[in-house]
Amino acid sequence: MARIFITGSSDGLGLMAGQRLAREGHEVVLHARNTDRGEVARRALPNAAQIVIGDVVTIAGMRSVAEQANAIGRFDAVIHNVGIGYREARRLETRDGLSHLFAINVLAPYLLTALMERPDRLVYLSSGMHPGGIPDMDDLQWTRRRWSGSQAYAETKFLNVLLAFGVARHWPAVRSNALEPGWVPTRMGGPGAPDDMAAAPVTQAWLAVGDDPATRVTGRYFYHQREKSPEPSTRRVGLQEALLDRCATLSGVPLP
């Protein structure tokens, strides 16, 4: 059985993926931003192997999560589920001077990828909104543009695909893929979201542990266990490298 770490898994799709994997007999390590959320996660999944505690809104918090995860041991798969939605009415700034949305949705998965021992599989959650999020690579922090929460969110989901594909190129021995789970009625998605909640956590769990030949790929994009064409610009090596370079500069940690 596999050992899997799922970020942002005290509730929502991260927790649902963890519950699914635990039912299949895998060793699941959850992540919550604080001890209260960790207790919620423990009640929801009592047989979770461990729960890592740390708020990835800051670079120090990201480093702490990576250190705790590495102390547990090497993971077979990491599902980068942590994220916040598109409802921020104004640009919020972290203690590191970064856009709150960018820090959690983009820099956290980058830095955890860079700092954690390399797993066999990496799974990054994107969104069906990503095609509308072709980013301004010179203003990833939204300091020059008028704030739009939905556009900023879409950009982070585009960047998640760039990250998955960039890592796939740099680490060919690791299966690094991205997916969209659908617009579902989680706390992030809202009660009016129309897609199938039961199907939403399936693909990430399948990519993390599946023996299906369809999972033995890297640098691909999925929707409900089928490959789907991402926005074509996500294939541009120059954009992938630009993101990796900016994340390395912001975090002080280059991708190994």
Mean pLDDT value of segment 156-174: 99
Could you read off the pLDDT of 44-92 as tens digits, one per residue?
999 999 999 999 999 999 999 999 999 999 999 999 999 998 889 999 9
Chain length of the chain = 256
What is the Cα–Cα distance from 109 to 103, expressed in whole angstroms? 9
Residue 190: the pLDDT is 53
Q: Where are the alpha helices (DSSP H) in the chain?
A: 12-23, 35-44, 59-72, 100-102, 108-115, 149-170, 202-209, 237-251
pTM: 0.96
Residue 50 contacts by C-beta under 8 Å, 6 or more apart in sequence? Answer: 29, 30, 72
Catalytically annotated residue among 153, 221, 223, 228: 153
Residue 189: the pLDDT is 53
What is the Cα–Cα distance from 16 to 9, expressed in whole angstroms? 8
Asked if 221 is an active-site residue, the reply is no
Mean pLDDT value of segment 196-213: 91
Residue 113: the pLDDT is 99
Tell me: pLDDT of 186 over 70.
no
Mean pLDDT value of segment 182-196: 58
Domain borders along the chain are: 3-251
Asked if 110 is an active-site residue, the reply is no
Tell me: pLDDT of 187 over 80.
no
Could you read off the pLDDT of 129-161 as tens digits, one per residue?
999 999 999 999 999 999 999 999 999 999 999
3-251 classified as CATH 3.40.50.300: no
Residue 35 buriedness (CB in 10 A; 0-12 / 13-18 / 19+): exposed
Residue 37: the pLDDT is 98
Catalytically annotated residue among 86, 110, 124, 157: 157
Residue 117 contacts by C-beta under 8 Å, 6 or more apart in sequence? Answer: 70, 74, 75
Residue 234: the pLDDT is 99
